[in-house]
Amino acid sequence: MSKLLCLRPFSLLPAVLSAIATLAITPPAPAGPPDPASYSATFEHAAVAADHPLASQAGAEILEKGGNAVDAAVAVSFALSVVRPESCGIGGGGFMVIHLQDDPRFGTLTTAINYREQCPTGIDSMYYTRPENAEEFASTRGAKAVAIPGTVAGLFYALEKYGTLKPDIVLAPAIRAAEGGFIADDHIVSSARDIGRWIDKDPILRRERFAFAWERFCARGTLKAGDRLTLPEQAQALRLLAQRGAGVFYFGEIGQAIIAAIQRDGGPMLAADLASFKVDEIRPLQVEAAGRTFHCMPPPSSGGMALAQTLGILERSPQKLTDHPRQSPASIHLLAETMKHAFADRARWLGDPAFGKVPVERLMSDEYLRQRAAVFDPTHTLATDRYGTTPGSPGEAVDDGGTSHFSVIDARGNAVACTETINLEFGSLLCVPEFGFALNNQMDDFLTRPGEANAFGLTQSRRNLPEPGKRPLSSMSPTIAISKDTGRVELIAGAAGGPRIISATLQIIINALIHRMTAADAMAAPRFHTQWMPDTLWLEDELRGGGLESGLVTLGHHTAGKCPQAAAQMILIRDRRIEAASDPRKGGRPAGY
Ligand code: GLY
């Protein structure tokens, strides 16, 4: 299966760049339906669903030791940094939504932690348009693509405020995995093959700029499933973090090594930039739909807004998803048309609210959601400019992976939904060799070259131009649903996969809560993706051909195959049992007790 993402449509990027514009969530399609036992399980007390079995086990180990969901989440994240270096890690950033149930310190509370990377001071809105930064992949590979990493600060913030265990305990499973090694699976092999092909073409990339990624993550182009990978250098970084805390990453030895790696490769980040990274704790966005309260991530996530808007519009629509068979042209049409409003608003209105007003209240208002619901035409798609805010209303005109999600629930009913990213697979490919991790390429999530789409094919407005200290817009959508009947967590979900995060998270939530599917079935069900622009409805193979696709074409959709994939993780609490499912598209497996 092709792993290409949408290229910048108006640029003359060489074909070679297509090979790097890939995501870390695109494993080979499984042949036939996957066996649910390979990617899902039921537990009585507590569970973790992550996209690597060792990461789920790291969290389950902490839960069994009496840690709460936040302790477990921090353990999972550090473990993922080791076993999914293609997807996330201490060189990246993320969002965490936390729900505490009757906590002795905080009572019942839901909060969100924003540790999305920030733009360094040396990069402004015109940076990538200047001749000295004209290298085609300046915003995707190498030191100029690196934003200030936030994962370490975010995890320590969460642990110190909402966790209960000490760093050395929660970091222990990750240190063990880094030292003892882990077995390469299809996902890392396929990611390493993609970037390896690109690195291998140029001796400068191979021997100098991305030598650590080439040697260690790609095994010089020979990595195969079943090989054992060890990361003793990252074990050393994790040990330092366990002993000395986050400061060692932002002001100490690890920080010095990060800045040295960036400066060797000609990047602008300074030690003062790294030292200035700030974690932001914020109130989640809330939406009432389908008898639940959904807690979603606010901007600079676009995913929370998109989920909240889509669920809010569906709630107000006279047409209901349940009026139609689940995978019929009519139900996919309703959901896709609703999602297009959210993606159109993403492109026009969203950015980091710390750097300009994002009209969250208006876009989430009852009146606005009703208006969007009212323009739905059950017989046809609309002209593209009719999605989202109507033309002529205040605002701007459109001027224009490597990610991992995990879900945790503990025995007390506390929950964490966490999505983390280094952006494209293995991030910028620029590694910190002394400490064995890749730095992100999150700068490409900004609007780096006005008029061009980013590596995910997303068009964006000037609200998302780079500015020192600003965080790039994200699609990450960690979500917790609380049952209105019980007041307790009913579902914890999210995904990896750039904009497909939003469509996948929505579809698994709808499958589980509206169509009442099991977590395993909700996860495995074939999915579609649309992001408003390009005006395409991508269908997974099982949805292609036959009456379903021709029905969608009749309704005006431009259907396509080779659906770019997402990898979701979900925990569903139903009838007092915990159903946990990892996405069979990536190869995770839940753990718990
Ligand atoms: N880097 C992918 C995202 O944050 O949406």
Per-residue model confidence as pLDDT tens digits over 347-363 = 999 999 999 999 999 99
Instruction: Please indicate whether residue 421, judged by its CB atom, sits closer than 6 Å to ligand 1.
Output: yes
Does the C-beta of 381 come closer than 6 Å to ligand 1? Answer: no
282-398+476-592: CATH superfamily: Gamma-glutamyltranspeptidase, small (S) subunit (3.60.20.40)
Average pLDDT over residues 475-501: 96
Pocket mutation for ligand 1, best pick of 95, 440, 501 (most atoms within 8 Å of C-beta): 501
Q: How confident is the model at residue 67 (pLDDT cuts 50, 70, 90)?
A: very high
Q: How confident is the model at residue 390 (pLDDT cuts 50, 70, 90)?
A: low
CA 196, CA 219: separation in Å to the nearest integer? 9
Location of structure tokens 């995913």: 303
Q: What is the pLDDT of residues 196-206, one digit of tens each?
A: 999 999 999 99
Residue with the nearest Cα to atom 4 of ligand 1? 474
Residue 399 has pLDDT above 90, yes or no: no
Least confident of 72-86, 378-392, 579-593: 378-392
The rounded distance, in Å, linking the Cα atoms of 300 and 111 is: 15
Q: What is the dihedral of CA 29, 31, 32, 33, to 10 degrees?
A: -50
Q: Which of 403, 421, 448, 505 is catalytic?
A: 403
Helix or strand run (H / E) with residue 228:
strand 228-229
Q: Whose CA is nearest to atom 3 of ligand 1?
A: 474
Q: How far apart are CA 419 and CA 97, in angstroms?
A: 9
CA 315 → CA 34, 134, 142, distances in Å? 32, 46, 44
- Ligand 1 atom with the shortest distance to the CA of 499: 5
4 pLDDT more than 70: no
Averaged over 464-489, what is the pLDDT?
97
- Evaluate the omega torsion of the peptide bond into residue 300 and state whether it is cis, within 30 degrees of 0: yes
Distance CA 456, CA 473 (A): 12
Among 403, 444, 471, residue to substitute to test ligand 1 (most atoms within 8 Å of Cβ): 403
- pLDDT value of residue 439: 98
Sorted by sequence, the CB contacts under 8 Å of residue 8 that are 6+ apart come out as 449, 452, 453, 454, 455
Burial class (CB in 10 A: 0-12, 13-18, 19+), 516: exposed
419 lines ligand 1 (CB under 6 A): no
Rounded to whole angstroms, the Cα distance separating 453 from 7 reads 7
| Residues 362, 348 contacting (CB under 8 angstroms) | no
How many Cα atoms within 13 Å fall on the side-chain side of residue 497?
27
At residue 396, the pLDDT reads: 34
- Distance of alpha carbon 561 from alpha carbon 496, whole angstroms: 20
- The answer to whether the beta carbons of residues 20 and 198 sit under 8 Å apart is yes
H-assigned helices in 449-534: 500-509, 519-524
For range 263-273, the mean pLDDT? 98
Statement: residue 523 has pLDDT above 70? yes
Looking at the chain, the whole-number percentage of residues with pLDDT higher than 90 is: 89
Q: What is the mean pLDDT of the chain?
A: 92
Domain ranges of the chain: 282-398+476-592
**Is pLDDT of 393 > 60?**
no
Q: Is the pLDDT of residue 395 over 60?
A: no
Residues 100-153: tens digit of each pLDDT: 999 999 999 999 999 999 999 999 999 999 999 999 999 999 999 999 999 999
Per-residue model confidence (pLDDT) at position 275: 98
- What is the spatial distance between Cα 509 and Cα 491, in angstroms, rounded to a whole number? 8
431 in contact with ligand 1, CB cutoff 6 A: no
Distance between Cα 114 and ligand 1 center (Å)? 13
Name, in order, each residue with C-beta under 8 angstroms of 126's C-beta and a sequence gap of 6 or more.
none
Of 287, 423, 300, 424, residue with least CA distance to 353: 300
In whole angstroms, what is the distance from residue 12 CA to residue 23 CA?
Answer: 21
pLDDT category at 31 given cuts 50, 70, 90 is low
On the question of pLDDT at 2 being above 70, the answer is no
Look at phi and psi of residue 410 and say left if phi exceeds 0, alpha if psi is from -120 to 50, else beta: beta
The residue-averaged pLDDT of 460-483 equals: 96
Question: What is the whole-number distance in angstroms between the Cα of residue 325 and the centre of ligand 1?
Answer: 32
**pLDDT band, very low/low/confident/very high, at 401 (cuts 50, 70, 90):** low
What are the two backbone dihedrals, phi and then psi, of residue 19, each rounded to the nearest 5 degrees? -70, -20
Residue 49 has pLDDT above 80, yes or no: yes
| Whole-number Å distance between alpha carbons of 42 and 333 | 33
Q: Sheet holding 415-423: strands in order across?
A: 280-282, 107-115, 93-103, 415-423, 402-409, 47-49, 591-592
| Predicted pLDDT at 7 | 28
Concerning whether 403 is annotated as a catalytic residue, the answer is yes
